[in-house]
Amino acid sequence: MSLDIRVPIGLLFLCLGGLLTGFGIVTHFTNPGIYTMSLNVNINLWWGLVMIAFGAAMFYYGRRGVALAGTKPEAKDALAAGDLD
């Protein structure tokens, strides 16, 4: 299959992370009261940023993986093991 699963995962996390970060920034000024329940942490903003970073890494490695498609199974095994983190 020439669809690397890391590409859609990366895109989904970029989308959701971007959405949460944007919402976190806006609510920081307009409605900071909603964060009393999350112990006064702007969880939308911070977790959104973490999700963007994860999504970007997945997307990058996924695109690199597509470029390497067609290599021998052993070589792919080694790469996949190396990319586990």
Which residues contribute to the site for another protein (CB under 8 A)?
1-3, 5, 8-9, 11-13, 15-16, 19-20, 23-24, 27, 34-35, 37-39, 41, 43-44, 47, 51, 54, 73-74, 76-78, 80-81, 83-84
The identity of residue 8, as a single letter, is P
CB 51 within 8 A of CB 16: yes
Please state the closest distance from residue 47 (CB atom) to another protein, in A: 5
Alpha-carbon torsion angle 40, 43, 44, 49, nearest 10: 130
Whole-angstrom distance, CA of residue 62 vs CA of residue 65: 5
Kindly state the smallest distance separating residue 60's Cβ from another protein, in Å: 15
| Cβ at position 75, least distance to another protein in Å | 11
- Nearest alpha-carbon partner for 65 in 77, 79, 84, 55: 79
